[in-house]
Amino acid sequence: MAIRNIVKVGDPILNKKSRKVEKFDERLWLLLDDMKETMYSAGGVGLAAVQVGVLRRAVVLDCGTPDMSDYLELINPEIISKEGEQREMEGCLSLPGESGTTVRPAVVKIKCQDRNGKWCVYKAQGLKARCFCHEIDHLDGVLFTSKVIKEDIQ
């Protein structure tokens, strides 16, 4: 495993749509392992493959607590349902030092594949739902800054 460089805002790759993963092999597994190590090293809760310069629909995330991991790998994820609304602060490893309040669904249900190609369904709320949406947006070339609420100054 290796820590990879995280692509920063301004790099045009972050605005490109990632391609579907077709091969579930050792090359994918190495990418996922490297992404996991990179995410933890950077102190993030999620990382999309595009953020390490790879245009594939792969995500790693861990929205758990320091004493309880909630690590997941999402290959070819897609949102299949959304409920409610949450407004929370968001940041991104590709935009260090930037944050803003976004509106995301309160509950999200996704389908995806695991590292071996098996289909899975996950339902999440709160931070995990926000992470699912944020990382899937990355796979579609969308940065969280496009979703930041523009509030009027009174």
Model confidence band, residue 64 (pLDDT cutoffs 50, 70, 90): confident
pLDDT tens for 107-143 read 999 999 999 999 999 999 999 999 999 999 999 999 9
| 84, part of any domain | yes
Q: How many Å separate Cα 130 from the centre of its chain?
A: 9
CA of 130: how far to CAs of 26, 63, 126, 137, 138, in Å? 29, 10, 6, 11, 12
* Unique residue bearing structure tokens 């493959």: 49
pLDDT tens for 8-54 read 999 999 999 999 999 999 999 999 999 999 999 999 999 999 999 99
| 153, part of any domain | no
What is the structure's pLDDT at 137?
98
What is the structure's pLDDT at 1?
78
CATH number at residue 18: 3.90.45.10
Partners of residue 47 on adjacent β-strands: 60
CA of 150: how far to CAs of 28, 93, 133, 145, 146, in Å? 39, 22, 19, 10, 10
Domain tally, the chain:
1
Residue 7 in this model has a pLDDT that exceeds 70: yes
Question: What phi and psi, each to the nearest 5 degrees, are found at residue 48?
Answer: -100, 150
Spell out the residues 6+ positions from residue 150 whose beta carbon is closer than 8 angstroms to its own: none
Give the structural domain span for 58.
12-147
Residue 154 in this model has a pLDDT that exceeds 60: no
Partners of residue 68 on adjacent β-strands: 65
135 an active-site residue? yes
pLDDT tens for 86-109 read 999 999 999 999 999 999 999 999
- Out of 22, 83, 135, 151, the active site residue is 135
Model confidence band, residue 62 (pLDDT cutoffs 50, 70, 90): very high
Q: Can you tell me the distance from the alpha carbon of 148 to that of 99, in angstroms, rounded to the nearest whole number?
A: 9
Q: Can you tell me the distance from the alpha carbon of 140 to that of 126, in angstroms, rounded to the nearest whole number?
A: 22
Q: Can you tell me the distance from the alpha carbon of 57 to that of 70, in angstroms, rounded to the nearest whole number?
A: 20
What is the structure's pLDDT at 36?
97
| 117, part of any domain | yes
| 154, part of any domain | no
| 152, part of any domain | no
Q: What mean pLDDT do residues 54-75 have?
A: 90
| 6, part of any domain | no
